[in-house]
């Protein structure tokens, strides 16, 4: 699991498609004994939320993932099986989307039961602006770095996956 994968996308749909593909790969992996965490790094507009829109689709979530303006965390139910889903998923039941952009102090996130959420192996957690809560993150993370090249071109590097 010490690999790095690099992708270039040329429009937002390609970034969503990549997110969907990664979700499907995650569903087919072996279970861990704590939550599965994605840390999404990159500037505003780099494509983190766009990636997560596709990622959520891959998990079978029908609600749209938005950039939370004032909300720091949103919880979604993951479907455990449906005819449409490519992979049956008996292990993950919740998807949490955190956006730490507006956090002033890392500690504030503890009020949202962050510690309990990251311990539960039934959870998949995606964190935008993980730098803001660096001291509270476990070591075992999938790090995804987004770089904004041109108007519609992005480089997306996935570490430790």
> Which residues would be at the binding site for ligand ADP (CB under 6 A)?
9-12, 14-15, 42, 44-50, 67, 128, 146, 152-154
Q: Return the number of the residue (87 or 157) whose C-beta is nearest ligand ADP.
A: 157
Shortest distance in whole angstroms from residue 144 CB to Mg ion: 12
Binder of residue 44, out of ligand ADP, Mg ion, none (CB less than 5 to 8 A by kind): ligand ADP
Shortest distance in whole angstroms from residue 34 CB to ligand ADP: 25
Shortest distance in whole angstroms from residue 126 CB to ligand ADP: 11
Binder of residue 123, out of ligand ADP, Mg ion, none (CB less than 5 to 8 A by kind): none
Tell me which residue of 108, 100, 85 sits closest to 49, measured CA to CA. 100
Name every residue whose Cβ is closer than 8 Å to that of residue 21 and which is 6 or more positions away in sequence. Answer: 54, 58
Residue 40 in contact with residue 133, Cβ under 8 Å? Answer: no
Shortest distance in whole angstroms from residue 50 CB to Mg ion: 8
DSSP class of residue 122 equals T
Instruction: For residues 23 and 79, give the distance between their C-alpha atoms in angstroms, rounded to a whole number.
Output: 13
Q: Which spans of this chain sit near Mg ion (rule: CB under 5 A)? A: 48-49, 67, 128
Per-residue tokens: 50 = 């766009």
Q: Return the number of the residue (27 or 46) whose C-beta is nearest ligand ADP.
A: 46
Instruction: Name the one residue in this structure whose structure tokens are 């780099």.
Output: 46
Residue 36 in contact with residue 142, Cβ under 8 Å? Answer: yes
Binder of residue 20, out of Mg ion, ligand ADP, none (CB less than 5 to 8 A by kind): none
Q: Return the number of the residue (61 or 89) whose C-beta is nearest ligand ADP.
A: 61
- Identify the three-state secondary structure at position 121: coil
């Amino acid at each position: 699991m010490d690999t790095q994968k690099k992708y270039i996308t040329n429009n937002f749909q390609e970034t969503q498609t990549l997110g969907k593909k990664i979700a499907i790969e995650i569903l087919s992996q072996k279970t861990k004994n704590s939550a599965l965490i994605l840390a999404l790094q990159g500037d505003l507009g780099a494509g983190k939320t766009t990636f997560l829109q596709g990622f959520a689709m891959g998990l079978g979530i029908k609600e749209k993932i938005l950039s939370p303006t004032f909300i720091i965390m949103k919880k979604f139910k993951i479907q455990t099986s449906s005819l449409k889903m490519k992979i049956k998923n008996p292990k993950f039941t919740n998807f949490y989307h955190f956006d730490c952009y507006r956090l002033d102090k890392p500690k504030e996130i503890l009020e949202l039961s962050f510690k309990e959420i990251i311990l539960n192996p039934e959870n998949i957690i995606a964190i935008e602006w993980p730098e803001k809560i660096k001291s509270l993150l476990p070591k075992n993370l999938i790090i995804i770095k987004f770089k904004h090249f041109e108007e519609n071109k992005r480089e997306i590097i996935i570490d430790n996956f």
